[in-house]
Structure 1
Amino acid sequence: MNTAEWEALCDGCGKCCLNKLEDEDTGEVAFTRIACRLLDDDTCRCTHYEIRHQFVPDCVTLSPQNIGSHAYWMPRTCAYRLLAEGKPLYSWHYLISGDRESVHRAGVSMQGMTLSEFDVPEEDWEDHLLDGDL
């Protein structure tokens, strides 16, 4: 898979850009509605994707080589995680539907649901945990 094909797997849900809390004892990952400072809440896309590491140095760059070690903290609906787990894409994924907006219409994106990490102190993130299995 070339770089363009790999990048095309992103469904634009915005869930990977949510700040997460990981239990050190169990490894369980909990998603918050606190988003990375670069996430555009309307489009669920990174506002500076190509140069994001200049702003967020620890932003993970997924690749076919490292997805296996990072899949556990990706949302369960994520195409990268699904690929790593040998599962098919959902019907709302734009590579299936042909429509980039289908992720939002299906209600699986974070569109209009996030808070900026600039607006919520890190010690309050537990107050913004998302229910359910993302």
Structure 2
Amino acid sequence: MGELRENFWTLPLAQLTRAEWEALCDGCGRCCLHKIEDADTGAIADTNVACKLLDTGTAQCRDYRNRKAFVPDCLRLTFAIVEDVPWLPSTCAYRLRAAGRDLPHWHYLLTGDRDDVHRAGVSVAGRVVSEDEAGPLEHHIVEWSAPQRDLEEESGA
């Protein structure tokens, strides 16, 4: 995947190499879930319906490298657009770093354990259904909660 610099995640996003950009992802899978936009208000509702390529048990893309061939509207998140994607979760490393904030305490780059995203309750693994089985999206609207510790930190508790 390429060489990763020590503590690269503390650098401004514009300075990251492609390998470092890809490594910044925490693997939660939330960006691979369908959203519903209200045509009148523009409000975006989350669903628990995953892209057909997302492994619902691991929250990992089954064919990340070739995903655009199977899902043409799959968004390739880049530095140029990261601040213009309003539906990224508040816990998203890209969103946090674009705002100059630190990674969450459970991020694997800090802990060394990719399963910490699951233990923190951030991952969608085991909590979503594939679009191939879901039926109407309107029946699957959910509100994802932030991990309790993150909520306490945001409120200053």
**Pair in the same fold by TM > 0.5:** yes
Residue correspondence of structure 1 range 1-134 to structure 2 within 5 A: 1-70=16-85, 72-121=86-135, 124-133=136-145
In the superposition, the TM-score normalised over structure 2's length comes to 0.79
Whole-Å Cα distance in 2 between the matches of residues 57 and 5 of structure 1? Answer: 24
Whole-Å Cα distance in 1 between the matches of residues 109 and 35 of structure 2? Answer: 27
Question: How many correspondences in the alignment?
Answer: 131
The DSSP-based 3-state class of the residue aligned with 1:34 is strand
Whole-Å Cα distance in 2 between the matches of residues 99 and 132 of structure 1? Answer: 22
Task: Name the larger-Rg structure.
Answer: 2
Structure 1 moving runs of 4+ over 4 Å: none
Instruction: Return 5+ residue gaps in structure 1 as ranges.
Output: none
1:85 Cα offset (Å): 2.0
RMSD of aligned residue pairs (Cα, Å): 1.3
Whole-Å Cα distance in 2 between the matches of residues 24 and 6 of structure 1? Answer: 33
Bigger CA drift: 7-16 or 79-88?
A: 79-88
Which amino acid letter does the alignment assign opposite residue 91 of structure 2? T
Instruction: Return 5+ residue gaps in structure 2 as ranges.
Output: 1-15, 147-157
The DSSP-based 3-state class of the residue aligned with 1:62 is coil
Whole-Å Cα distance in 2 between the matches of residues 106 and 133 of structure 1? Answer: 11
In the superposition, the TM-score normalised over structure 1's length comes to 0.91
Whole-Å Cα distance in 2 between the matches of residues 77 and 25 of structure 1? Answer: 27
